[in-house]
Amino acid sequence: MTDVNAVLVAELVAAGIERREARWLVEEFVLGGDLDTVPALNAAARRRLEGEPLQYIIGHWPFRSLDLDLDSRVLIPRPETEELVGAALQELAKGGVVAPTILDLGCGSGAIGLALLDELRSRGIVATLVAVDESLEALEVARRNALKHQLHAVSFVHSSWFADVDESLQGHVDLVVANPPYVGDVEFAHLDRVLTYEPRDAIVAPDAQGVAGFADLEVIINEARRWLTPEGILLCEHGSEHRDAVVAAATSAGFTSVEDLDDLSGRPRLLVARR
Ligand SMILES: C[S@@+](CC[C@H](N)C(=O)[O-])C[C@H]1O[C@@H](n2cnc3c(N)ncnc32)[C@H](O)[C@@H]1O
């Protein structure tokens, strides 16, 4: 870091920005000590001090092997979701599928599906991805991320869950992955203010079966099975209070093997159901 940049970092810290974030902002906006870019840095710092997430201000963020473009049209991908991708890769490796077809429901920025394609590609496996979202804006961001990473075997589908997915895929999907909205209204009202910068429809789901935020999980679990190959797998991220409901839903939907995994901080988080 140049002396000029060190001074700029110190100024941001004095203004109230955490040192690590101040360094990121300076590295992002002031390349090589170019003082012409300081107004842009100051504008970014003001946004951060008002509470906007750093990821939107910087406009991109790492997710597994990818640097994803992000803005307020999509959810900021979470570290737990990186674990979902890891688990999906392990499941695919166990099944030994040569050219998997993957359905990413509620793709948002494209994080899950595109990371899977990219990491499979680096293992010499050519997968095909169908990326679905109800938000046209999210699909635009996901499409841009696919182009950015030269991931071409992707089709983008504007659909509410499976409703407008091509029916000819039924029985042919090796892996359904989803990180749907799963926060109930009441919980949302008490969550971190940072979440108010993210699209509400990406976070909040109606209640179902008397379970807060369960409605989208319920639809996905109920409908996924008929889209899967006989060896196909559903991986679905859920809220930490949803374990009983997702296991019950997957069992009654007819999945033959149903597991629910904790995330790295020990919270119930990931349904793994085999057709
Ligand atoms: C929690 S975000 C997940 C985004 C991304 N998969 C990730 O993990 O970062 C949920 C996504 O589901 C989408 N979504 C919400 N309701 C939907 C529906 N009925 N059908 C399809 N997508 C939906 C939202 O637009 C949002 O992009």
Q: What is the mean pLDDT of residues 70-90?
A: 97
pTM > 0.75: yes or no: yes
Parse the chain into domains and list their residue ranges.
3-50, 64-274
Q: What is the mean pLDDT of residues 105-131?
A: 97
Number of H helices, E strands in the chain: 10, 9
End-to-end Cα spacing for the chain: 53
pLDDT reported for residue 2: 73
- H/E run at residue 93: helix 79-95
Q: Flag the least confident range among 7-16, 75-84, 188-197, 221-230.
A: 188-197
pLDDT of 1 > 70? The answer is no
Site to probe by mutation for ligand 1, drawn from 107, 136, 195, 242 as the one with most ligand atoms within 8 Å of Cβ, is 107
Task: Name residues whose C-beta falls within 8 Å of residue 265's C-beta, 6 or more positions apart in sequence.
Answer: none
Q: Which atom of ligand 1 is nearest to the CA of 63?
A: 9
- pLDDT interval class at 196 (50, 70, 90): confident
- The response to whether residue 205 sits with its C-beta less than 6 Å from ligand 1 reads no
Q: Are 258 and 243 in contact (CB under 8 A)?
A: no
* CA dihedral (220, 223, 227, 233) positive or negative: positive
Gap from CA of 15 to ligand 1 centroid (Å): 36
CATH number of the 64-274 domain? 3.40.50.150
